[in-house]
Amino acid sequence: MSAPKERLTVTVDPDLVEAASAAVAEGRVGPLSAWVNLALSERSAKERRLRALAGAMGAYEKEFGPISAEEIATQARADREAAQVTRGSRPSTKAPRPVRGRAR
């Protein structure tokens, strides 16, 4: 059995309350507290992923040195070129070039 829930008081932007209330009214979610619980759960998971990514990047940079802005731009171009288009068409017809990792 899960731990009992805690009651808390929060201040929320009106547009978010409206969106949550609409989700409840349309039957997309149970009570408002379930919608808030889901949002907090998703945010918590995102924070864990960001911490893991920061740790991985820190370990990489410790071994290979800082990642330069040029390396990031090169990788972003390669990622765009290698992306699979699911709607519309690809603007460029060039074959993607793989980006090589740093030599050890």
Checking if the pLDDT of 26 tops 60, the result is: yes
Categorize the per-residue pLDDT at 57 as very low, low, confident or very high, splitting at 50, 70 and 90.
very high
Provide the pLDDT for residue 95: 60
Let me know: does 20 contact 13? Beta carbons within 8 Å: no
Over the stretch 84-104, which tens digit does the pLDDT of each residue have?
888 877 666 566 566 666 554
Q: What is the mean pLDDT of residues 24-30?
A: 92
Provide the pLDDT for residue 101: 63
Q: Using alpha carbons only, what angle is made at residue 72 by residues 55 and 44, rounded to the nearest 5 degrees?
A: 35
Cα 6 from Cα 91, distance rounded (Å): 51
